[in-house]
Amino acid sequence: MKNKIIGFVKKYHAPLIGLGILILVCLIGYMYNYYPVNKYGIYTVGTVTDVKRTGGRVGPSCFFYFYYKGKRYEGSNPTNLKKKDIGKRFYVQFLKDNPNRCGLEDNKPVPDCIKEVPPEGWAEIPHCSYRDEKVVRALTEFYTAYISECDNPDGSIERIDSLRNKYLTKTLLTRLEAKDLDYDPILQAQDCDQKTIRTLEIDAEQKNVYIVCYTSPHNSQKTRIKLLIVEWRGSYLIDDILNDTNIV
């Protein structure tokens, strides 16, 4: 066995040395070009200007530019992007002390909700927030009043209808009136309890789509209501209950 190994090494020593050198060169290149950027880099938004093959590279490279503290920088790196991606925005990571050492993250497109880019960049990739506090406030007011009235022994159908007319669009009201449901689609429940008001959680899932959650005081079960919100003459109205297939 030992002789076979020695024979193999003697026969292929040149290719093995070449392979070792290639691996070493790649490792040195990674440590110099990518490791510091990946470990210490900050982020900004870059725009792709071209995608093409260059030199002896097997795959294409993307060319891009970005701004840091008001100065334009350009860079390129291997990519999986196509010509159709020219003009699109992606996150770029770079060294703030040497912005020319940079890389475009071609698997991290910049979402439309990122409108403004700080001149000094970000320490981490920012996350979109579709949450509008005006919408959250309107939904909180509605559900607080609605649940309170629903669970009020002296409550009236007229006051319930008044709240619906104030916070629901005419389109949704018409659809609800046409259905004969044995539960309240607004609460996704047959009963209501004022104790659930203090468990209300409201947040945006995406643009104009909000999730309202509350927890039952009886069995700790959480109810999740997915709402489509529209703005109408300065007010925020519920236009659809997206997770209720009975009112389609």
Give the domain CATH number at 94. 2.40.50
Do 191 and 223 share a domain, yes or no?
yes
Least confident among 5-19, 138-152, 186-200, 212-226: 5-19
Report yes or no on 98 lying in a domain. yes
Do 123 and 204 share a domain, yes or no?
no
Report yes or no on 26 lying in a domain. no
Do 142 and 243 share a domain, yes or no?
yes
**What Rg value do the Cα atoms of the chain yield, rounded?**
29
Report yes or no on 12 lying in a domain. no
pLDDT on residue 145:
96
CA distance 80 to 158: 61
Report yes or no on 27 lying in a domain. no
Single-letter residue type at 43: Y
Long-range pairs, 118-121, Cβ under 8 A, ≥24: 119/67, 119/68, 119/69, 119/70, 120/68, 120/69, 120/96, 121/42, 121/43, 121/44, 121/68, 121/94, 121/96
Do 167 and 108 share a domain, yes or no?
no
In Å, how far are 152, 155, 172, 212 from 138, measured between CA atoms? 21, 21, 17, 12
Do 223 and 165 share a domain, yes or no?
yes
Tokens standing for residue 186:
């607004």
Domain that holds residue 89: 42-128
Do 166 and 219 share a domain, yes or no?
yes
Report yes or no on 18 lying in a domain. no
Report yes or no on 21 lying in a domain. no
First to last CA, the chain: 74
Report yes or no on 64 lying in a domain. yes
Do 97 and 152 share a domain, yes or no?
no
Domain termination site, one of 97, 128, 159? 128
Q: What residue has token string 């071209």?
A: 50
Contact 37, 51 (CB under 8 A): no
pLDDT on residue 25:
42
HEC profile of 102-129: EEEEEEEECCCCCCCCCCCCECCCCCCC
Query: pLDDT over 90 for what percent of the chain?
Result: 69
pTM, to two decimals: 0.58
pLDDT at 209 over 60: yes
Tokens standing for residue 133:
């506090």
Q: How far is CA 152 from the centre of its chain?
A: 40
Domain termination site, one of 93, 128, 163? 128
pLDDT tens digits, residue range 158-172? 999 999 999 999 999
DSSP string spanning 162-198? HHHHHHB-HHHHHHHHT---SSBTTTTBS---GGGGG
Helix, strand, coil fractions of the chain, as percent rounded to 5: 35, 35, 30
CA distance 70 to 43: 15
Do 141 and 231 share a domain, yes or no?
yes
pLDDT on residue 112:
83
Domains of the chain: total: 2
Report yes or no on 6 lying in a domain. no
**Cβ contacts of 29 within 8 Å, gap of 6 or more:** none
pLDDT on residue 119:
96
Output the domain CATH number for residue 176.
Answer: 3.10.450.50
Domain termination site, one of 128, 151, 174? 128
pLDDT on residue 95:
95
Q: Give the three-class secondary structure for 207.
A: coil
